[in-house]
Structure formats: structure tokens, C-alpha cells
Amino acid sequence: MNNHQEMGDIGLQKLLSEGYNEINPMRGKFDPVDITEEFFAECSKLTVGELAISPNFSLSEAMSAIELMDPKMDIGMVKYDESIQFENLVSTGQLNIWEMDLPELIATMDALLASYIAWLEGNSLAQTVLTCVCLHNLDAVEDPILSAYCRGIIELIYLTRQIIQTATVYDEEDFNGHFVNIRSSDCVKYTSSIKQAELSLQRAIKQKSKDVKLLKAALCRISFLRHFIFSLNVLMPSQLAETTITPFRPNAEEASSHMRIACQCLEEMELTIDLGSQPADGCDGLEFFISCAHLIICVLSRSLLQLVYLPQDDKLMGCVPLSTSVIESIRLRTSAPFIDHLGTIQVDSQCGIFFNEFITDAVKVFLGVIQMFGHNLARQRERIVSCIEDFAALQNEAERFESIYEAMNTMQDSAGLSLSSFVLYHTLLLIEYHFYLSARLDLFAPFEYPYIYWYLSDIVYKLIVNALSHSRDVLLAEKQKGMKIKKKSERKKNSKTWQEGELNRRISAIENSLLFYKAQLALSSAFYQASVGLIAMNKIRIPKNDASERYRFELRMSPFSSLSSPLFVSYDYFMQSSRKENSSSWNSRSCFSYAYDAFAAARTFLEESTDIQEVSEYIRVCKNNMIVSKILSCGGKDKSNIRFILDDCVPLFPILKID
């Protein structure tokens, strides 16, 4: 049997070789080389779970590879069935294009919407929306309701593609914009036909037909489509807008009005799913559509947000220049006299030139950050490294401007001069967000927690708290100075200027942020102590190779290599600062006692915050982990298993659970 099998394999290989030589246009120019033995020999050197990395082939490219012979990826594996062509379905009576039954019409509408959502999730148009044969020959569809709805879907596809490709915040796994055999559409013509279909359904309902429920179900679906198209259309400039002098501004008010009606229709659609023709297996694609509709991370939502917020590259909502917003943000973190004094600096002076250059570069950096937030989470984590590098360069420019500003001695009191502090604060927020993304994507192993939470507590959150404290002190000093001027001018005690009210609001907002980040600092410190305690109890297994921790630490710090100290730290500094070299002699109970105190401190800070709704999930984590830390600090449950339960609401700070 083995001999027959070997002969069969040899024959198959020979047949494949002959076929390859027949179809290969390059045959005879190159001699094939058998690398089977060398390939498997190299593979045998890899340990379990290890990957070979090449500069010319990364994991990202591996995601784009096609698995041959897989029907889902290799479309040539499935023979085309001509019986499902539009003409054949019509001639055999399987497709009614003249007066489709209402249950079938409702099911077709639902299936088209579900296919549209599947297209937004990165699938091809041919495998999603175009599986509806009615779209292949729209002119032949004579049912006015079905025809209008199908044409509306085509218009929606074009509009969606325009939005997503204009925003350019999608990657290959997000969206497939390749179009096949679809003619250009006319929005006015198509939406007019949808409106006529609406009116005909409304007239049929008023006549009190026996199918009122089905007619209302069809009406809410076609109304949803019309209002959804209008809501997107008023947020995007038309083709004629490019030739007009007045720049386009998205009409958010009208879009909100249409979207509100569309959401109401969507609720009615959810209640009438069962009225449509049900598939044989009992599954319906609209459930998938409803679940995806609640996700704020779909590519269309992200693209819309980009285009509404920045319809032009340098103007927020098409009105306010981004440079104005950057200057106002600096004002919120520095004293007002500093910003006001900048207005008196001559534009052609050295100081004025450097400040304008700083603002111009800051606008470019923040534009990059805004666009980064438009991508999916995995791509955000990839692109945020470039944003951090841009902020590192901006930090150098801020420090250079400050030195020039102070050298000119243009202002006696430079206590509020903190451009570098402003840049540092936003750099720290990006670093924090990088760790948030890593936690959200579940990229951290428990044995990495000690240096992850040490870096967050001793570096990131400590510097954020210091930056916020500095901003608060500057604003308090400005407030105190204003009160002295007020007394000297002998104004009435009850009078309050607009500037005073604005200053108080800024101080209140900073103090609230200060409480939140103090809680974050305490939480990070608590998790550092808890993770070290669990390692001391052998509840967290760590790799045996000591050198691997240095490698992993340096890998986690590599995104911040463009930054200077103290943001970029070495492994030796971590070992020295955290005293982790002596961790083998640490008492686990003492670690959990420290963790309990830190969790309690974080809870206190959070409960003092005025934004209770935002911090409620953090308070829940503190309460739970306080109980677990208290039990472990007393020596209870030493033999139990302790797990970290990740929560999407607070991904950076998991819940400790005793099994």
C-alpha cells in the first residue's frame, strides 16, 4: 500500500510539474531548485511559537496573504452557478421583479442592509451587496418600491465610498473600495424615486389595506434609507462645491435632524424583522446589522467624524482654524498674560518668527494625531509611534522658543511661560494611550505587569500630575493677582467679570483632572505591588531565561526611543529605581498591604471627583481589588488561584479575582 501511495505521489508531482511547465511563460529561462530539505531544516530550528522575521515580509503582509484552495479566500475554487443569474431567475419564476410579495420585499431590504454592513467591515462588494441579483440589472426591475430601494442602496454605496476614501483613515483590513460593474449615480434622481416610493406606500396605508403592518414595515425601511442618505449627503461637499468660492461647511444641524428620524425608523425595523420572509435555517442578517450599528468604530463612522471635524485640513468644523484652537489650548495650560503678551510681539521679530513656526509645526503634529485616531485600534497603536516622534521634535522647538523668549526679557514675570510643559503634557497623554491600546488589544502578559505599572506610576502619571499641578499653580497665581487689582480699584464685592468666571472654570477643570490622574497614579502603584506580590507567591509564572525580561522591557520602551529622559528609561534604571533586584526577598503580604492602601487612596481621589459617571467603573475596580488585596495581605487564600479579569471599560486596570 505504501509503494502504491509513493508511486501515486510521484505521479502527481510529475503531473503538476508538466502542467506548470505548460502554463509558465518563463519556462526554460530558470532552472527550478528543490529547497524542501533546507526549508524544513530551518523550520526545525524554530521553537514552538517562534516566528521567522524578514525585512521583506512582516506580519502585516502575512495578513494580506491568500490561502489557496480555501473557498472563502480563493474565489476560483467554487464554480460559477449560471442558474442564479438575473435572467435565469426571472425566466424560471424564482425572482419577481414586477410586484414582489411584501414579506419577500422586506426580507430583501433587510438582507441588503446586512450586506452593506458586511461591506463596511472590510469584505468585498462582490461578496456582500452585489450578492443581490436585483442590483445587476436595475433597469429591468419594474417593482417601484424594490427599484427605488435598490437604487438608493447604490447611491449609499457611492456616498459611503466617497466619505471613506476622502477621510483616508482606513487600511486594507478595514475597507474594500473596489467597484465592479456599477454605473455612476445621480443623488437627486435616486432620492426623488425613493420619496415617490414613500408616498405610494403612505397612500396604500391610508386606504387601510389588509397588509397595513407589512406596508408600514416596508415604509420604515425605505424612509430609513432616504434619511440616512440625506444625513450623509449634507456632511459631504457635492461635486459642484469644488468650483464655488465659498468653502464647504458640513451642515451638522440638518444631518442630525435626518439621522434622528433614521434612528427612529431603525427601531421600527428591529420590531418588524419577523414580518419578512424567513430563511430556512432561521438566521437573519439584520441582527448582525443591528449589532454593528451600535459600534462607534466602524470605518464609515470614523471617516464621517474626520470629515465633519476637519472638512478642510486647517479648520475645525470648517470654521475655526486649528492654529486658533492650539493657541487656546496653550492658554488653558498657561497664564493668560503670557498669551496676551504674545500678541504685542512684532511678527517680524525673532521671537515672533519662532512662535509662528512653533504654532505651524504644532498644527501639523496635532493634525497627525487627529488622523491617527480615525484608524482602527491596531493601526492606531502602529501610527501612534510616529505621533510621539513628532511631539519629541515639537518639544525641542518649544524649549528653543522659551530660551529665546526669556533672553529677550520681554516680560518681567515668566512664571506662566510653559510651552514645553504644554507639549510634554500631550506627549504623556499619547504614551498613556499607547499603553491603553496595548491593554485593550490584550498584548500584555501578567509577568510583564511589574515594569508596565512601574513605568505608568513612576514616570507617566507622576509627570502628568506634576504638569497639571504646575498649570493649576500658574492659574491660581493669576487669580490672586487679579484679586489684588480688584481691591485696589475698589470695585464692588459682588461684581464678577467674565474673565474671573472663565478663570475659575479653568481652575475647576484642572483640579478635576488632577484628582483623576492622582487616582490613576495610585492605581498603577497598587497594581505594581500586587503583581510583585503574586510573583513572590508563584501565582504568576515568569520565563526562566533572565535575559528575556530585559529584551521584553526594551521592546516595550522602543516606541519611546525618540524621547529623552525621563520619558525614555533603560532596563538598568528600572531595576535600580524599582528595587526589583531584591524582589526575591520581598514579603508578598507586605506587597498586598501596600496595594490595599494604594487602591484605597485611588478610590478616595475618584470619589472626590465631580464627574461620578465617568469614574464609576474605576471605583468598581478599586472596591473589588481592595477586598482581594486585604484577603491576601492577611494570608488567606494562599493556595487559591488569582486571575486578572480584563474589562473593556477599564482595560488598563483589570479586576483581581480569587478562584
Confidence tier at 293 by pLDDT (50, 70, 90): very low
The 10s digit of each residue's pLDDT in 435-455 is: 998 998 888 888 889 999 999
Q: What is the pLDDT of residue 103?
A: 87
> What does the pLDDT average to over 497-502?
64
The 10s digit of each residue's pLDDT in 149-204 is: 988 998 898 888 888 888 888 887 788 877 765 555 555 566 778 888 888 888 88
Q: What is the pLDDT of residue 253?
A: 87
Q: What is the pLDDT of residue 346?
A: 52
Give CA 311 to chain center in angstroms. Answer: 19
pLDDT above 90: residue 598: yes
> What does the pLDDT average to over 418-445?
89
> In this predicted structure, which of 31-40, 281-290, 406-415 has the lowest mean pLDDT?
281-290
> In this predicted structure, which of 43-47, 215-219, 598-602 has the lowest mean pLDDT?
43-47
CA-angle at 621, arms to 615 and 623, nearest 5°: 100
What is the dihedral angle through the alpha carbons of 474, 475, 477, 478, rounded to the nearest 10 degrees? 120
> In this predicted structure, which of 73-82, 123-132, 611-620 has the lowest mean pLDDT?
73-82
Residue 384 or 649, more confident:
384
> What does the pLDDT average to over 270-283?
67
Residue 496 or 574, more confident:
574
Confidence tier at 292 by pLDDT (50, 70, 90): very low
Contacts 24+ apart (CB under 8 A), 506-511: 506/332, 506/475, 507/472, 507/475, 507/476, 507/479, 510/468, 510/471, 510/472, 510/475, 511/472
pLDDT above 50: residue 364: yes
Q: What is the pLDDT of residue 430?
A: 93
Check residue 34 and report its DSSP letter: -
- Kindly tell me the burial class for residue 235, based on how many C-beta atoms sit within 10 Å of its own C-beta (0-12, 13-18, 19 or more): buried
Confidence tier at 279 by pLDDT (50, 70, 90): low
Confidence tier at 604 by pLDDT (50, 70, 90): very high
Phi, psi of 101 (to 5 degrees): -60, 145
DSSP one-letter string for 568-610:
S--HHHHHHHHTGGGGGG--HHHHHHHHHHHHHHHHHHHHT-S
Cα–Cα distances in Å, from 560 out to 40, 373, 524? 38, 19, 19
> What does the pLDDT average to over 4-15?
51
pLDDT above 90: residue 432: yes
104, 96 in Cβ contact below 8 A? Answer: yes
Please name which of 463, 443, 447 lies closest in space to residue 455, comparing C-alpha atoms.
463
Confidence tier at 402 by pLDDT (50, 70, 90): confident
Q: What is the pLDDT of residue 283?
A: 42
pLDDT above 80: residue 148: yes
Q: H or E segment at 77? A: none
Q: What is the pLDDT of residue 442?
A: 87
b/e map 545-569, b = 16+ CB within 10 Å? eeeebeebbeebbebbebbeeebbb
Amino acid at 369: V
Q: Please report where in the chains the cell 525641542 appears, as a residue.
A: 396
- Kindly tell me the burial class for residue 602, based on how many C-beta atoms sit within 10 Å of its own C-beta (0-12, 13-18, 19 or more): buried
> What does the pLDDT average to over 234-258?
74
Please tell me the number of Cα atoms within 13 Å of 357 on its side-chain side: 15
Q: Where are the alpha helices (DSSP H) in 207-318?
A: 212-233, 252-271, 286-293, 299-309
Amino acid at 5: Q
The 10s digit of each residue's pLDDT in 220-243 is: 999 999 999 999 888 887 654 555
Per-range mean pLDDT, top range of 218-232, 276-290, 327-341:
218-232
Residue 251 or 530, more confident:
530
Confidence tier at 93 by pLDDT (50, 70, 90): confident
> What does the pLDDT average to over 525-541?
88
Please tell me the number of Cα atoms within 13 Å of 447 on its side-chain side: 13
Quote the CA–CA distance of 216 and 102 in Å, as a whole number: 10
Confidence tier at 549 by pLDDT (50, 70, 90): confident
Share of the chain above pLDDT 70, in %: 75
| H helices, E strands: number in the chain | 23, 4
Confidence tier at 289 by pLDDT (50, 70, 90): very low
> What does the pLDDT average to over 307-328?
78
Quote the CA–CA distance of 409 and 560 in Å, as a whole number: 34
Confidence tier at 52 by pLDDT (50, 70, 90): low
Q: What is the pLDDT of residue 494?
A: 47
Residue 556 or 276, more confident:
556
pLDDT above 60: residue 495: no
Q: H or E segment at 9? A: helix 2-23
| Grid cell of 90 as nine digits | 426571472
247, 317 in Cβ contact below 8 A? Answer: no
> What does the pLDDT average to over 476-499?
60
419, 398 in Cβ contact below 8 A? Answer: yes
- Kindly tell me the burial class for residue 344, based on how many C-beta atoms sit within 10 Å of its own C-beta (0-12, 13-18, 19 or more): exposed
- Average pLDDT score over the chain: 78
| Grid cell of 162 as nine digits | 466617497
Give the total residue count for the chain: 659
Phi, psi of 485 (to 5 degrees): -65, -35
Q: What is the 3-state secondary structure (H, E, C) of 172-237?
A: CCCCCCCCCCCCCCCHHHHHHHHHHHHHHHHHHHHCCCCCHHHHHHHHHHHHHHHHHHHHHHCCCC
| 3-class SS of residue 377 | helix
